[in-house]
């Protein structure tokens, strides 16, 4: 064992060098930072509460205000169609809160403070990923319970339901890294606003609210290939809800698409986030 | 290790260079700090103080030069350097939503202390910095001085080889400044090496054993505060003459007795001379004015301000002196 792991009797402000008990470990450090991120959210919960309230408002708006006028190709109840799409959309919107939290910490000097500590360079991003995945799980649980109250319900077995939930969180996990990358790379309030605006066309240009088959051909193709649509369709299939997809590649391979799309996103954005973190040294 | 090998300095930087685009932020920055001392890095906004601190604490890469903390090379072993430093940046960087204790626990555990030792260390530091009573309140309700003290405590969890304090009193009211000064004195008294950046001459004077004056990314003068002040023209004696027609006579009298050039401002009826030791010069000035029959409305002794120190150091003549002195 290295001499650097010896404990020290230093009390108060001491001149003797203090020595660590443990070697650096990215998972332990990531968990500690995630704990801080979550504690921060518990103390200042308004961002999360409003985010959730906003999702619930959207659900109510589409389920009851627009829903009556929307027909699902292939048949089926609109609320049963809408809810899995809304779950996927909530995973997309989570990107904003990740980005905001990341750029706030960088702006306020908290990230620099972490960077001056003897911790692994992965732990800051890892902590954010663990914390945001944690509160997204909670967010998803609340939305699903709310869905049950307004008449949505899965009709399949526990294994399929669990896989559906996993695929939703898998999308959130991939998009997390987009948020971490954007938050590290673009720190101005302008950038946050731009992302808050841009998630809308990305969210709407999907099969979240209406089936791609009701759109003009070219627009439908874009919507069908949107990663959010892949996850929404897979979740519908796994929960036994109407998918709104009657033909085409996605009709047969929704689960595959919902597995591969997030993987591709993560493979691109995890390295980009790592580069952005290193670029903080510039 | 043999006893004949002297310990490495707490900090040694040689010829650091850092460019942002075309603008050089550090342009051949040299600094050596002996272990156990408090070193002031004094300079105006934009002199490169913060860039220097960021380079030395591994936060920012540099283009050229070498730097070591307690003998550990900043470029080759940044992780080793991070184990040996404490950094208190210019901005309050503890989490406002958390309590003082939660903040310190986080830093202590991230620094690799076990839960039990982190709790001990946190308790000791809260006590040492007078924060024990407020330990479990969210820091958002803290005064500026309390926040900075918590920041400093967070920089000390592993008892670093050197503590960096980047403008620790900027934005504080006089009471907050006094409590932070007291905290820095206690840190220094415990034997911790400190690098303190400041724009305020008086702060460097009060706290630092040695001071480096920085401009345009380089150190342009270094010494103890007393050495620097005497080199920088020492104190000023200012006399406001009651009758403007007596201004020239008063200036002559003061110049003769202090053996220095007196500058005259007719608008404010003020005569100013630079003297090496203000306290000694004051009595002869009073007698000379009395003898010349020049009544004064006001007579003051004051220290050079950073502006004056700085203008003096960057004036062409001063620069030549400085180079000759080397």
pLDDT bucket at B319, cuts 50 / 70 / 90: very low
The tokens of B205 are what? 């004077």
According to the model, what pLDDT value does residue B225 have?
A: 84
According to the model, what pLDDT value does residue B14 have?
A: 97
Measured in residues, chain A has a length of: 282
Chain B interface mutation, best of A6, A8, A14, A18, highest count of B Cβ atoms under 10 Å: A18
pLDDT bucket at A98, cuts 50 / 70 / 90: very high
Q: Does A9 touch chain B (CB under 8 A)?
A: no
Cβ burial, residue B136 (10 Å; 0-12/13-18/19+): exposed
8 A C-beta contact, residue B225 and residue B242 = no
pLDDT bucket at B105, cuts 50 / 70 / 90: very high
Which residues of chain A neighbour B82 with C-beta distances below 8 Å?
A: 116-119
pLDDT bucket at B323, cuts 50 / 70 / 90: very low
B159/A14 Cβ within 8 A: yes
Q: Tens digits of per-residue pLDDT, B112-139?
A: 999 999 999 999 999 989 999 999 998 9
Residue A5 in this model has a pLDDT that exceeds 60: no
Q: What is the C-alpha separation between A194 and A165, in angstroms, rounded?
A: 29
The tokens of B293 are what? 């029959």
Q: What is the C-alpha separation between B278 and B303, in angstroms, rounded?
A: 9
Cα distances (angstroms) measured from residue A130 to each of A124, A180, B82: 10, 12, 24
- What percentage of chain A exceeds 90 in pLDDT? 51
B98/A40 Cβ within 8 A: yes
- The interface predicted TM-score (ipTM) is 0.82
Which residues of chain B neighbour A108 with C-beta distances below 8 Å?
A: 91-93
Domain coordinates in residue numbering, chain A: 24-279
Q: Tens digits of per-residue pLDDT, A183-239?
A: 999 877 788 888 888 888 899 889 888 888 888 888 888 888 899 999 999 999 999
Sheet hosting strand B72-73, strand order edge to edge:
B23-33, B11-20, B64-69, B72-73
Q: Mention every residue, 6+ apart, whose C-beta is less than 8 A from residue A27.
A: A126
pLDDT bucket at B305, cuts 50 / 70 / 90: low
A32/B110 Cβ within 8 A: yes
A17/B158 Cβ within 8 A: yes
According to the model, what pLDDT value does residue A67 have?
A: 77
Which residues of chain A neighbour B158 with C-beta distances below 8 Å?
A: 17-20, 118
Locate tokens 């009544």: which residue? B295
Which residue of A lies nearest to B84 if distances are taken between CA atoms? A17
Span of A11-15, A128-132, B88-92, B276-280 with lowest mean pLDDT? A11-15
Closest partner residue to B112 (CB to CB) among A10, A16, A118 is A118
Residue B96 in this model has a pLDDT that exceeds 60: yes
Nearest-neighbour CA in chain B from A170: distance (Å)? 28
CATH of B11-229, one of 3.10.150.10, 3.40.50.300, 3.40.50.620, 3.30.930.10: 3.40.50.300
Nearest-neighbour CA in chain A from B228: distance (Å)? 29
Q: What is the C-alpha separation between B239 and A203, in angstroms, rounded?
A: 74
Average pLDDT over residues A91-112: 90
Nearest-neighbour CA in chain B from A45: distance (Å)? 10
Closest partner residue to B106 (CB to CB) among A17, A36, A109 is A36
Q: Collapsing DSSP states into helix, strand and coil, what is residue B21? A: coil
Q: Tens digits of per-residue pLDDT, B269-303?
A: 999 888 877 778 888 888 988 888 888 899 888 77
The DSSP call for residue A6 is -
Of the ranges A246-260, B16-30, B90-104, B267-281, the best mean pLDDT one: B16-30
Nearest-neighbour CA in chain A from B86: distance (Å)? 8
Residue B89 in this model has a pLDDT that exceeds 80: yes
According to the model, what pLDDT value does residue A48 have?
A: 82
According to the model, what pLDDT value does residue A115 have?
A: 93
B124/A281 Cβ within 8 A: no
Residue B252 in this model has a pLDDT that exceeds 80: yes
8 A C-beta contact, residue A20 and residue A118 = yes
Q: Tens digits of per-residue pLDDT, A237-282?
A: 999 999 888 777 777 899 999 999 999 999 999 999 999 999 998 8
According to the model, what pLDDT value does residue A8 have?
A: 39
Whether CATH 3.30.70.100 fits B235-302: yes
Average pLDDT over residues A56-65: 87
Which residue of A lies nearest to B114 if distances are taken between CA atoms? A21
- What percentage of chain B exceeds 70 in pLDDT? 92
- What percentage of chain A exceeds 70 in pLDDT? 93
Residue B2 in this model has a pLDDT that exceeds 60: no
According to the model, what pLDDT value does residue B55 have?
A: 96
pLDDT bucket at B4, cuts 50 / 70 / 90: low
Span of A84-98, B35-49, B219-233 with lowest mean pLDDT? B219-233
Chain A interface mutation, best of B92, B159, B195, highest count of A Cβ atoms under 10 Å: B159
Residue B324 in this model has a pLDDT that exceeds 50: no
Which residue of B lies nearest to A35 if distances are taken between CA atoms? B106
Q: What is the C-alpha separation between B112 and B144, in angstroms, rounded?
A: 29
Locate tokens 């950073």: which residue? B306
Chain A interface mutation, best of B111, B188, B190, highest count of A Cβ atoms under 10 Å: B111
Residue B309 in this model has a pLDDT that exceeds 90: no
Average pLDDT over residues B91-111: 89
Which residues of chain B neighbour A118 with C-beta distances below 8 Å?
A: 79, 82-83, 111-112, 158
* Beta-strand pair B270-275/B235-241: antiparallel
Cα torsion B155, A182, A185, B170: sign: negative
8 A C-beta contact, residue B197 and residue B41 = yes
8 A C-beta contact, residue A182 and residue A99 = yes
Residue B237 in this model has a pLDDT that exceeds 90: no
According to the model, what pLDDT value does residue B233 have?
A: 64
8 A C-beta contact, residue A172 and residue A135 = no
Helix (H) or strand (E) holding B137: none
Average pLDDT over residues B258-276: 86
According to the model, what pLDDT value does residue A187 have?
A: 78
Q: What is the pTM of this model?
A: 0.83
Which residues of chain B neighbour A114 with C-beta distances below 8 Å?
A: 110
Q: Would you give the end-to-end CA distance of chain B in angstroms?
A: 35
Domain coordinates in residue numbering, chain B: 11-229, 235-302
Average pLDDT over all residues of chain A: 87
Span of B193-202, B210-219, B221-230 with lowest mean pLDDT? B221-230
């Amino acid at each position: 064992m290295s001499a650097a792991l010896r404990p020290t009797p230093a009390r108060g402000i001491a001149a003797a060098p203090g020595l660590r008990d443990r070697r650096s470990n990215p998972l332990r450090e990531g968990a500690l930072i995630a704990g801080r991120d979550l504690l921060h959210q518990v103390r200042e919960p308004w961002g999360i509460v409003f985010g959730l309230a906003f999702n619930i408002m959207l659900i109510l708006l589409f389920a009851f205000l627009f829903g009556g006028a929307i027909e699902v190709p292939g048949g089926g109840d609109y609320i049963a169609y809408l809810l899995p799409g809304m779950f996927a959309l909530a995973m997309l919107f989570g990107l904003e809160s990740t980005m905001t939290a990341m750029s706030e910490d960088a702006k306020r000097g908290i990230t620099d403070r972490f960077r001056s500590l003897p911790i692994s360079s992965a732990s800051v991003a890892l902590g954010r990923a663990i914390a945001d995945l944690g509160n997204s799980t909670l967010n998803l649980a609340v939305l699903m319970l709310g869905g049950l109250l307004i008449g949505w319900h899965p009709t399949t077995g526990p294994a399929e339901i669990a896989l559906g939930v996993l695929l939703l969180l898998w999308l959130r996990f991939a998009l997390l890294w987009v948020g971490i990358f954007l938050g590290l790379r673009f720190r101005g309030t302008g950038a946050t606003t731009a992302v808050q605006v841009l998630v809308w066309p990305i969210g709407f240009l999907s099969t979240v609210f209406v089936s791609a088959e009701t759109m003009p051909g070219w627009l439908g193709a874009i919507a069908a290939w949107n990663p959010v649509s892949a996850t929404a369709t897979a979740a519908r299939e796994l929960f036994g809800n109407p998918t709104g997809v009657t033909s085409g590649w996605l009709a047969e391979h929704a689960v595959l698409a919902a597995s591969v799309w997030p993987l591709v996103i993560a493979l691109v954005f995890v390295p980009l986030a790592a580069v952005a973190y290193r670029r903080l040294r510039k | 290790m043999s006893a004949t090998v002297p310990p490495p300095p707490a900090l040694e930087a040689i010829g650091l260079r850092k460019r942002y685009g075309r603008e050089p932020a550090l342009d051949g920055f040299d600094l050596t700090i002996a272990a156990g001392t408090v070193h002031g890095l004094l300079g105006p906004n934009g002199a490169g103080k913060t860039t220097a601190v960021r380079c030395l604490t591994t936060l920012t890469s540099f283009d050229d030069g070498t730097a070591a903390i307690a003998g550990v090379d900043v470029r080759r072993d940044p992780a080793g350097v991070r184990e040996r430093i404490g950094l208190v940046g210019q901005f309050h960087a503890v989490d406002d939503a958390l309590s003082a204790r939660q903040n310190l626990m986080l830093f202590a555990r991230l620094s690799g202390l076990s839960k039990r030792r982190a709790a001990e260390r946190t308790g000791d530091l809260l006590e040492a910095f007078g924060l024990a009573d407020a330990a479990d309140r969210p820091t958002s309700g803290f005064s500026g001085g309390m926040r900075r003290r918590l920041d400093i405590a967070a920089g000390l969890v592993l008892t670093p080889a050197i503590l960096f304090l980047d403008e620790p009193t900027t934005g504080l009211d006089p009471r907050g400044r006094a409590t932070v000064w007291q905290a820095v004195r206690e840190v220094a008294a415990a034997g911790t090496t400190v690098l303190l950046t400041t724009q305020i001459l008086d702060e460097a004077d009060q706290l630092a054993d040695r001071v480096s004056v920085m401009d345009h990314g380089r150190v342009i003068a270094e010494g103890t505060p007393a050495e620097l002040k005497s080199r920088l023209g020492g104190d000023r004696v200012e006399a406001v003459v009651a009758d403007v027609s007596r201004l020239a006579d008063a200036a002559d009298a003061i110049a003769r007795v202090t053996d220095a050039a007196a500058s005259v401002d007719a608008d404010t009826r003020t005569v100013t001379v630079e003297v090496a030791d203000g306290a000694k010069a004051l009595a002869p000035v009073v007698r000379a004015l009395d003898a010349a029959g020049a009544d004064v409305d006001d007579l003051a002794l004051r220290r050079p301000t950073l502006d004056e120190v700085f203008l003096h150091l960057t004036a062409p003549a001063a620069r030549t002196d400085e180079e000759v002195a080397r």
